[in-house]
Amino acid sequence: MSTASLTLSSIHTADGTDIPYAAAGPSTGPAIVMLHGLSDSWRSFEPVFDVLPPDVRAIAISLRGHGDADTPTTGYELTSLAADVVSLLEQLELDDVVLVGHSLGAAVALQVACQAPDRLQALVLIGAFATPADHPLVAELVAAVAELADPVDLAFIEEFQAGTVYGEVPEAYMRQVVAESAKVPTHVWRGATGGFLAADHLGAAAGIAVPTTLIWGDRDAYVPRAEQNRFLAVLPSARLEVYEDTGHAVHWEQPARVGADLVAVLRSGRYS
C-alpha cells in the first residue's frame, strides 16, 4: 500500500477541535487505527502504511495539538485525548477496530479501551509505559519541556527524536519526524507530558478485557522490560512480542514486521 493512495481528511470534536487523519484501503469493514507518540502526527505511521496490503483498511490520527491538528489551550489529559479518538470512531462509524498506540498513543489507546470497549476487537501497544514517573529519562524530558519557549528549539527536538531510535532509520524520514515535531507549540508539549504523567496507566489497563499485544524493542531507552511485565500482570489476555536490537520507535525501525503483526491481529483477532 503506497502512501500515495492515502486520503487525508478530518473530523471536528464536540469542542470544535479539528482532528486530521489519513486513511487507506477499503472504506468499510474492520480497521487498524493508529495513534502516534508525543510530538508526532499521523505521519509517524507512514512507514507502516507503505507495507500494508491494499485490502487492509487503515487509519492514522493526529491527536489534538499535534501535526496539523488544532492546538487549543486545553484538553491534553489522556481522557480528553481519548474522547477525541472515540469521537472519530463514532463519526466514521468504526467498529471491530484494532487500536494501535505508540508511547503516548499507547496510553491514549488504553483510555479509549476504557471509554469505548465495544468498538474494539484488539489493542496493540508499542513501547507502552506502565509507570512513567519512575524513569529518569522521562523526568529529564519533563524538566526540559518545562523550559521550552516558542518556537521550540530544533536542537531539542532532534535530540529527543534521536533518543527514540536504536537501529537504522532513513535520514529523510527522520528529518520529516523533526519537522512534524516542530509544529507542536510549547503549551501542547507541557499539556501532553503533564497529562501523561498524571494518568494511572496500570489502573486503566486493569479494567480492560480486550485482547492485547505488547510490542517492545529490547533496546528501548525509555521503557524497560519490567514495564511490559507490569502490563502482563494486569492484562489477562495480553501477550508480549519482543523486537531484538530495536529502540522505542519500533514501527520506524521495523515497519515491515510491525505491519505484518498488525495484519495478523486484524485477521485473527489476536496472535495465534
Alpha carbons 121 and 112: distance in angstroms, whole number = 12
H or E element, residue 85: helix 78-91
pLDDT digits (tens, 9 = 90+) for 81-121: 999 999 999 999 999 999 999 999 999 999 999 999 999 99
Residue 133 sits in a domain whose CATH number is 3.40.50.1820
Asked if residue 197 lies in contact with residue 132, where contact means CB atoms within 8 angstroms, the answer is yes
Contact 141, 193 (CB under 8 A): yes
Helices 78-91, 186-198: crossing angle, 10 deg rounding: 100
SS3 assignment for 201-266: HHHHHHCCCCCEEEEEECCCCCCCHHHHHHHHHHCCCEEEEEECCCCCCHHHHCHHHHHHHHHHHH
Question: So what's the pLDDT on residue 1?
Answer: 54
Can you give the pLDDT at residue 207? 83
b/e per residue, 167-200, with b = 16+ CB within 10 A?
bebeeeebeebbebbebbbebbbebbbebbbebe
Range of the domain at 221: 3-268
- Which regions of the chain are under pLDDT 70? 1-4, 269-272
Domain count across the chain: 1
